[in-house]
Structure 1
């Protein structure tokens, strides 16, 4: 297609990342999809190995794409990790795992590609947030915290690089049918029956998993990301997902905090 872009998509082996890579490739863009391991299978794009938690891996991946294609026009920071568990049960090392992937991983890749984008006076970075980055979700507190942090990082970065012709945006999906249900990482303490949170945590996370399995297809998020990469959708923040979840997030800034938290606790069967 005219205006074909070189797009690097992280976490492209499944879910939103794969759907995004497929849609971009189908529209004629030159896509490099990444996975922490070797190529997960045949695809109409190039595969690259990338561990976003490793600085050397990020540098090698970006250097490889530049050597092959000469430029990077857009990055989709999709690689992510969902952690479940009570905050009290979560160790600092477990918390760091969530932030290393969801926050510092996106930051590492942005830092690696920005010199080239500034030099070419154009570029797009799309960070994959979550509705859990707008509302603190019980027993996914570290996941919410990392996505809250990514929201702030994205908003600040967008302002810093605008003068260089670089666009930065965040996409916040609601429940989406992806393998995240089976790949959720747990704080070990909350799986211990001796934890005072074990029963409530298991029940609430089961509610999340039920909603996720019934979630919207990943292609809806992929369509939005593609529109941002192609410049057809503008703005620093984009929310996509079921209407009820989007209303919940919107009400967060309108409904008094005490009432909002009461409603959340009632929904999840928490509190007194």
Structure 2
């Protein structure tokens, strides 16, 4: 029986790559987008979805389930970037980022659990970020929202294991996608105390994305996870140094690690 997969944010970037790869492996794939009409050439069906709207999430999940009477894999990939000095990012923008990166995935999980519980099986993969393992300068809200999703997943796993449901995190590093174009940028103000350091860090972050790895690597990693009988709690997919940075945080004194990050970002 073909497995039915739902990928939020499946119209571009990592989500699109995952969808196309799984499609080539014989999965029944459905992606989502807030504006499906913008992607008429998608290789798999796209369903309209805004993860910040409960009714939209419920309608999307119900549509997929009614088509096949099952839902085997859900990949919470939809997310949004945000950059800026914490002092200067409007609080509403921080809340909006959490609505997309944290509360949106939670709502998707809450909607799919009854279906998976009834079929006594299912896999939920939450796409987080290596940035969620550390508080990065000028990316504080993003780091916090993705880090929170990592911990929420840990709690969900323990609460749902007895139902035959599996859940895991996949934390990517920098990949060559259009995330930089779609994220919220606090403007670099000419009179800001952070003008120089934020401006330089912003350029460095954009270069990291431009020089990032091929999203196909994420797609292959997700495929392997789906075919793993008992997935781990956490997966990190990135270059060696990005993954090594997580290990360093565990073993280095806090201030030493902080100095290392500040040196990396030229602060």
TM-score, length-normalised on structure 2?
A: 0.96
CA distance in 1, matches of 2:183, 2:246: 23
* Structure 2 unpaired stretches of 5+: none
For 2:183 and 2:119, the matched residues in 1 are separated by 39
**Partner SS, residue 251 of structure 2:** coil
Aligned equivalents of 1:179, 1:197: Cα separation in 2: 25
Q: Following the alignment from structure 1 to structure 2, what is the Cα–Cα distance between the partners of residues 147 and 44?
A: 29
**1:12 — aligned with what?**
10
For the residues of structure 2 that align with 1:45 and 1:134, how far apart are their CA atoms?
Answer: 33
Tell me the CA shift for residue 266 of structure 1: 1.6
Aligned counterparts, 1:1-272, within 5 A: 3-39=1-37, 40-187=39-186, 190-231=187-228, 234-270=231-267
Q: Distance in 1 between matches of 2:54 and 2:162?
A: 27
CA-CA distance at 1:41 after TM superposition: 2.2
Q: 2: distance between equivalents of 1:251 and 1:183?
A: 30
Question: CA separation of 1:174/1:153 partners in 2, compared to 1, >3 Å: closer, same or farther?
Answer: same
Alignment gaps of 5+ in structure 1? none
How far the C-alpha of 1:135 sits from its partner, in A, is 1.3
Residues 94-143 of structure 1, C-alpha deviations (whole Å, 9 max, x = no match): 11111000000100100000001011110000001101000111001010
Aligned-partner Cα distance in 1 for 2:162–2:81:
34
Deviation at 1:90, TM superposition (A): 1.6
Any idea what the Cα deviations from partners look like across 1:211-263, whole Å, max 9, x if unmatched?
A: 11111100101111122223367201000101011111111100111111111
Number of aligned residues: 266
Deviation of 1:81 after TM superposition, in Å, equals: 0.3
CA distance in 2, matches of 1:82, 1:198: 20
1:152 Cα deviation from its structure 2 partner? 0.6
Tell me, yes or no, if the aligned pair for 1:128 and 1:171 is still in contact at 8 Å.
Answer: yes
1:227–1:233 contact (8 Å) kept in structure 2: no
CA contact 2:11–2:42 (8 Å) conserved in 1: no
Q: Secondary structure at the match of 2:79?
A: coil
**How far apart in 2 are the matches of 1:229 and 1:198?**
45
2-structure distance, mates of 1:45, 1:201: 39
Q: Aligned partners of 1:8, 1:198: CA distance in 2, in Å?
A: 42
Segment drifting more, 34-43 vs 143-152:
34-43
TM-score, L = length of structure 1: 0.95
Q: Is the 8 A contact 2:72 2:116 kept in 1?
A: yes
- Asked whether the 8 Å contact 2:128–2:149 carries over to 1, the reply is yes
The C-alpha deviation readout for 1:20-76, integer Å capped at 9, x for no partner, is 000111111111111111241223322101000111110111111111121111100
Displaced runs of 4+ in structure 1, greater than 3 A?
none
